[in-house]
């Protein structure tokens, strides 16, 4: 079975749980169309038919998922190497393979 990307799964779980917490005060989550969409997507993503099982599976997968790789921060203008221009220079000819 294919598994969703951990970042996508994390976003789905976080959004559903936040919506469920907010709706706990106002009424059942089932009444909200976005909650139904998230429930369906979580179930399809985890291969389950029940949102509680989907959340359990998602939490288990996320617990074993590798930590996200952070991209290095972009270099500031002062840290970048100066640009080299090729004005007046000819590009070396390459020989056909």
Rounded to two decimals, what is the model's pTM? 0.64
pLDDT of residue 74: 61
Q: Which residues are CB-contacts of 40 (< 8 A; sequence separation ≥ 6)?
A: none
Q: For the CA atoms of 24, 28, 33, 36, what is the dihedral angle to 10 degrees?
A: 90
34-48 pLDDT, tens digit each: 999 999 999 999 999
Positions in the chain whose pLDDT score sits under 50: 82-85
Note the pLDDT of residue 85: 47
Q: What is the pLDDT of residue 93?
A: 60
């Amino acid at each position: 079975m294919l598994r969703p990307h951990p970042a996508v799964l994390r976003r789905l779980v976080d959004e559903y749980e936040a919506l469920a917490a907010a709706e706990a005060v106002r009424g059942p989550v089932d009444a909200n169309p976005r909650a139904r969409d998230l429930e369906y997507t979580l179930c399809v993503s985890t291969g389950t038919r029940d949102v509680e099982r989907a959340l359990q599976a998602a939490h288990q997968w996320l617990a074993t998922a590798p930590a996200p790789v952070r991209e290095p921060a972009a270099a500031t203008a002062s840290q970048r190497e100066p640009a080299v221009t090729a004005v007046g220079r000819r590009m070396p000819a390459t020989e056909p393979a």
